[in-house]
Amino acid sequence: QLTMSLNSSMILNEENVQGAKRNTECLERQQTPSSFQDNPLQQLQLASQEVLEKAKKSGRSKCPRCKSSRMFYCYTCFVPVETVPTKDIPTVKLPLKIDIIKHPNETDGKSTAVHAKLLAPDDVTIYKYPCIPEYEEKRHEIALIFPGPNAVSVKDIAFHLQKYTKKGVHASDDDCSREPLLKQAKIEPEEEKNPNEGISSSRSEGTRLKKIIFIDSTWNQTNKIITDERLQGLLQIELKTRKTCFWRHQKGKPDTYLSTIEAIYYFLVDYHQEILKESYKGQYDNLLFFFSFMYTLIKDAKCCAGKE
């Protein structure tokens, strides 16, 4: 329910950036731009955002690759603009790989998916549907963030991935296994007949997860992607307990529907604690480096304009 990458309506709009910039003079007159309790993202352990403050004041700049005029970063080339030196942008190392499948009608300039690519470039890949990988051979080590009827919570990944893995091993003994495996994986895994088969610890099973998939689209657009044959049989995970801070939340949708970058961040925090069994000390907070800056900028601009 709290999902996922499913919110184009949860994504950064350059027009909002410009609108907020036009209110800069007003904002600077405010003694307290945003009270601490009004900004839940202020709890994050972030790198200095001074580089973004400077870029905001200087306005739009060119993408070093395509030369398009952008604010902060180019959402088509996935690089910072000329006024935002790459050395001043934090880099986050993730515990697993992330694939983001973007709906073809999702507006590039509105997508927070690009934040993940900018901040974790070595671990994040963005695909534009229908051009996505074949996941069949790796379904025992891949999961999809999606609130389907059979979706499980993050803390239950180890248990369910264990069963997916065993089905894969069992089916591979059959020379004709490829197509049956695809069909078998669509149904609820059956209980193992031999309880004495090697069952490893929760931690070792859980860390078999090597890749997580997020869908970047509006809720109404996601059906086209989630029903794709290449995504069938994957373990589905849902996020239930977090509320979005996105400033363009889809009307009529629960506040547990997260923007793409929020979903990635909260999943990793839960994964770190529930699966890796390690205390969380802000290791992934910089994934919200751009998001938190935009949150404060737009919220303050609205306050200044008397909208809140």
Mean pLDDT across 196-205? 41
Neighbours of 76 (CB within 10 A): 14
- Give residue 40's pLDDT: 67
- The answer to whether the beta carbons of residues 151 and 8 sit under 8 Å apart is no
Share of the chain above pLDDT 70, in %: 67
CA distance 166 to 198: 10
Instruction: Please give the C-alpha separations between residue 62 and each of 116, 118, 152, 233, in angstroms, as whole numbers.
Output: 21, 16, 43, 43
Query: Which range (2-11, 32-41, 135-144) has the least confidence?
Result: 2-11
pLDDT in tens, 237-280: 998 767 766 555 555 565 656 889 999 999 999 999 999 999 99
Q: Which two tokens stand for residue 31?
A: 């003694």
Neighbours of 102 (CB within 10 A): 24
Q: Which residues contact 141 (CB under 8 A, 6 or more apart)?
A: 161, 165, 208, 209, 210, 211
Phi/psi at 163 (nearest 5 deg)? Answer: -70, -35
* pLDDT of the residue at 253: 61
Residue 235 and residue 211 in contact, taking contact as beta carbons nearer than 8 Å: no
pLDDT digits (tens, 9 = 90+) for 158-169: 888 877 655 554
pLDDT of 58 above 50: yes
What would the mean pLDDT of 277-288 be, rounded to a whole number?
Answer: 96
pLDDT at 161: 80
Q: What is the pLDDT of residue 3?
A: 41
Q: Reply yes or no: is the peptide bond before residue 130 cis, omega within 30 of 0.
A: yes
**pLDDT at residue 278, rounded to an integer:** 95
Is the peptide bond prior to 4 cis by the omega test (within 30 degrees of 0)? Answer: yes
What is the 8-class DSSP label of residue 250?
P
Please give the helix or strand (H or E) that residue 213 lies within, else none.
Answer: strand 211-216
Across 73-91, average pLDDT: 96
Q: What percent of the chain shows pLDDT beyond 90?
A: 49
Helix or strand (DSSP H, E) at 127 = strand 124-128
pTM: 0.74
